[in-house]
Amino acid sequence: MLCDPAFRPVVEAFREGIGAGGAALAITAGGRIVVDVWHGTRDEAGTLPWERDTVVNVFSVSKSLVTTLAHVLVRRGLLDLDAPVSAYWPAFRTRTTVADLLAHRAGLPALRDPMPEGSAYDWDAMTAALAAEPPWWEPGTRHGYHAVTFGWLVGEVLRRATGTSVRDLVTAELGPDLHIGLPAHAERRAASVLPPEGSAGVAPAPGPVALRAFTNPADLLVPGAINTPAARRAQIPAVNGHATARALAALHGGLADLLGSDVLARATAPRSDGPDEVLGGRTRFGLGYMLPNEVRPFAPNPRAFGHTGAGGSLAFADPDLGIGLGYVTNRVLITPAGPDPRWTPLLEALYR
């Protein structure tokens, strides 16, 4: 384990907030790792210790990986954000741009008709259904969190722009211990996701868009499904990324070098800011990256960017502090709005 003395209060706050299960925290500053710590257990029985190379499902933090891939392609001239999606994906019916897909403005956060069992694990079935789906609102006019569809929508554009799957792009471009679709050889290192012990808030009654956005297809809602080989190995790029905290911190702390200043500035400028058609509160997004917002206030600096994940995972960069942070956990807490209570003390210590 590693902890620069200046960050000791952050690490103490991290350890105090873990509770049941396990977690890991990593922070980079000035291009070097200054915190790399882990604690607790990684299996359902609570007997296997969390280890340095333990990976875990980070849920929607996965979107930050997909987003970063998109901007890597932009920097290389392989992806035009202002181009219509149909320029890369001819069967795609909705008239919208790649930028609108990334900014949750395409109007495709959900599928109306129930998808057959197993569809979440079937890339072709999901992308074909989304290509034919009429938008829920006029693209570009409003935004709403594309909770699960984001990964298939953006991922299919990336696949068509490069001829390479999202799974292989992540491996080739973003480095070790970051995965969309966990390789079989890494399963022995994977922490089991523990079911929620309770709720830290009360979710509003979902409207028809939100209900379908989170439940169609329903495969991952089956108890225990998230820990099965089928769910781990599938390509569900919005929600089944697996990572270590160290890899997330290194990625986000190094985005300025990876993407270049111009590409990164465009990627992180507010593009969607206001009422969210799916989540109900006010959210903020750049071109794929989440920005601190009313629903998920993950950092006090509005210029921070990254993504939160259901259950508590978090990864972000703060360009003013020059840091990248990754926090991963296998103990799910349900926090419909507001920060995860485990983040609050460590972030207070970080920004003190």
Using only C-alpha atoms, what is the Rg of the chain?
A: 19
**117 sits in which H/E element:** none
SS3 for 262? helix
Task: Please classify residue 168 by burial: count the beta carbons closer than 10 Å to its beta carbon, then call 0-12 exposed, 13-18 middle and 19+ buried.
Answer: middle
**In Å, what is the CA distance from 145 to each residue of 56, 137, 259, 275, 283?**
23, 13, 24, 10, 8
Contact call for residues 255 and 264 (beta carbons, < 8 A):
yes
**In Å, what is the CA distance from 86 to each residue of 30, 71, 92, 103, 142?**
40, 19, 5, 17, 20
Contact call for residues 251 and 175 (beta carbons, < 8 A):
yes
Go through the chain and tell me how many residues it has: 352
- Single out the catalytic residue among 60, 62, 272, 313: 60
User: What is the C-alpha separation between 202 and 258, in angstroms, rounded?
Assistant: 39
SS (H, E, C) 123-142: HHHHHHHHHHCCCCCCCCCC
CA neighbor of 192 nearest in space, from 327, 342, 19, 55: 55
Whether residue 62 lies in the annotated active site: no
User: What is the C-alpha separation between 58 and 193, in angstroms, rounded?
Assistant: 10
The one-letter code for the residue type at 129 is A
Any idea what DSSP says for residue 205?
Answer: P
Active-site residue set: 60
